[in-house]
Chains A and B, each alone.
Chain A
Amino acid sequence: MSIDAKDDTAVDAEVLRNEVRSKYREVAANPGGEHHFHTGRYLASHLGYDDAFVASLPDAAVESFAGVANPFSLRSLHRGERVVDVGSGAGFDSFVAAHLVGPEGRVIGVDMTAEMLAKARSTAATMVISTVEFREGLAERLPVEDAWADVVVSNGVINLCPDKRAVFSEIHRALRPGGWLQFADIANGNPVPAAALDNVDLWTA
């Protein structure tokens, strides 16, 4: 199994970011469209999220969810914890986190796609949640102060970052000593040819 097969490739980081932005702009605007992955309530149930809680969320909070597993499955969150959600998209995992940490906790969702940020902020306002904030930023340069977070979560994002070492280093900086990293991502059991790794179109295909 390899999660870092795409590391150290010849893919230009900014070209890849633009490709990812383009893909997830589509997911924000047209979540039920023709994507190569599942989205929304079906996906959340498939990945083992709490059906009753997901049912309580408005459509806008769930429909653009495009995670790959459940970052809360190996460890739940505790009341009062401060959480950073790396690549928060339209906010689904941030809203789950806010529910788990309660009114004493805080959640900062970070995303680089303007359409996702706008959707997440609009949904948070509709839900009247004051413990969640969405900030524009990159996984490699999180807009969070040193050692602020008790927990960093992420779902299906790190595999789309060409420099994974930089991402993990940045998450490490944002976490307090003893803090938790709980993330979900894809990993491949069979090797991916080098030519495919260097083809930016295939990273989001």
Chain B
Amino acid sequence: MLFNSFAFALFLPLVFAAYWWVFRGLRAQNAFVLLASWAFYAWWDWRFLGLLLVSTAGDFLFGLRIHAAQDKKRRKAWLMASIALNLGLLGTFKYFDFFITGLADLLRSAGFEPHLPILGILLPVGISFYTFQTLSYTIDIHRRQIAPTNDPIAFAAFVSFFPQLVAGPIERARDLLPQFERSRVFDIDRAKDGLRQMLWGFFKKVAVADTCGGLAGAVFALDPASASSVTLVFGALCFAFQIYGDFSGYSDIAIGCARLFGFNLSRNFAYPYFSRSIGEFWRRWHITLSSWLRDYVYLSLGGWRDKGGRLRNILITFGVSGLWHGANWTYIGWGLLHGAYYIPSVVRGERQRSEHATWRDLPRIIALFVLVTISWIVFRSATIGDAARYLRAMALNARVRPWELFDWISLPVWIHVALMLGVEWHCVVNCMV
């Protein structure tokens, strides 16, 4: 079920009313949220509910086993079982064909004629998000950072909570699970703020992302060689605002929706396009994934105390981030490009800037935005070759007529983008965030 659908417009008020006025006890509310979340998920394809159930049941049991195991070896064995289950599901349903195709290409280049099976499975929606969420649960138990829950309903509701199930924020058990284990009271101010955040999210998705998306799609479908650089820059800008409006809009709707039900979800975006350095960008863009990768990939790699080790870990972590986004070399290329952007700040030993941006930071903000938009071209293209052609044409098919960016077709896009950036800039300079 999509947030911007007629079905959800009926689903949300019905679930909200029943949750607060029919199911009043904690266990009843949790059970009802769980059933509502499964219905929300099954709306796409009920068969994928099986994967969600396997992941939920597996990690609930593995969490208990890890905690109960007395010796280190057993704890590690149960953790490995959890990792194998989650990465096995992800590997099979998301990456199997990608790796098989890569292997077949490799064998072909070595002179073999391989006949390897291609599964052609439809990607189960949200699998990358909920597998990372459940993985963090068992890893944190293994690290003795949290204790497992004994309540299977609360745990299943934590994994399947419908506002954030299919596209995040990727929650940690220590933040969200306790919220399923204590009573919730309806708070009108919290609900009003949730509605405001949903409104902002819907605006970003419907008015910004969808209008930008149509134009970005049209430009990326062109043969770059036949398009002017102004058109190609316009397409890249449209995609930059599409992906921000789309994903941060989803996060805003999810967080606002959860607040209607008395839950606080983690912040996922903090005005990333007003960042002044790539490090700051990654502290503001998809925060829950970035912090997940920092805690469970970057820090787990070890050797990060010396500069060489840090550089290696950064490239690996950004490569994993790219691969997480999809089984395509363009995503890996996008991740590695961000890793390359990051390297100079590691070499120079730059420190985090905590104070908020001001007008004087505008040149740095624009320069960083240009770098990020170039990376979006790689991300959006079908292949690395397409991305290279797009970038080359953008540089060489120069017709310096910037006013072509502003015509009657693009005017609504710029008005919506200006409104979004204006409101968010107001927040950046007034909210100390």
| B and A form one assembly | no
Taking Cβ atoms with an 8 Å cutoff, the residues of A that contact B are none
Taking Cβ atoms with an 8 Å cutoff, the residues of B that contact A are none
